[in-house]
Amino acid sequence: MVDEVLAGRVRALVGARVPVVERRMFGGVAFLVGGHMAVGVSGRQGAVMVRVPAEETARLLTEPGTRPFVMNGRHAAGWLLVEPSAVEDDDDLAPWVDAGVDHARSLPPKPGAED
């Protein structure tokens, strides 16, 4: 089940910065910028999913409360999970949202992206 309070906090932070499309995906809520998933709230993993540049993944995984995002038994480079305990207030959550939004904005918009 998705933490709707956490999803609302992410929604407010993303929406304050850029046009965003929200989709239910992978048992959670994904926030897309330019057609690219920037950040999400995972229902299964119980954490905030953040898309980051692949080359920064290892460094960011040294931050407190982070862990690799594992898909099909493998760590997905360019993705990480941030535990709810590490984003208890918006001052802690905002840098992660910013990282995901900044990375999504650095990518060329997907054709037909709604935002």
Domains of the chain and any CATH numbers: 12-106 (3.90.1150.30)
Residue 101 parent element (H or E): helix 90-106
> Residue 70 contacts by C-beta under 8 Å, 6 or more apart in sequence?
76
Write the burial class of residue 101 (CB in 10 Å: 0-12 exposed, 13-18 middle, 19+ buried).
buried
* DSSP-based three-state secondary structure for 103: helix
Q: Each residue of 48-94: pLDDT tens digit?
A: 999 999 999 999 999 999 999 988 888 888 999 999 999 999 999 99
- Whether 115 has a pLDDT exceeding 60, the answer reads no
Structure-token pair, residue 107: 């990518």
Determine the pLDDT at residue 101. 96
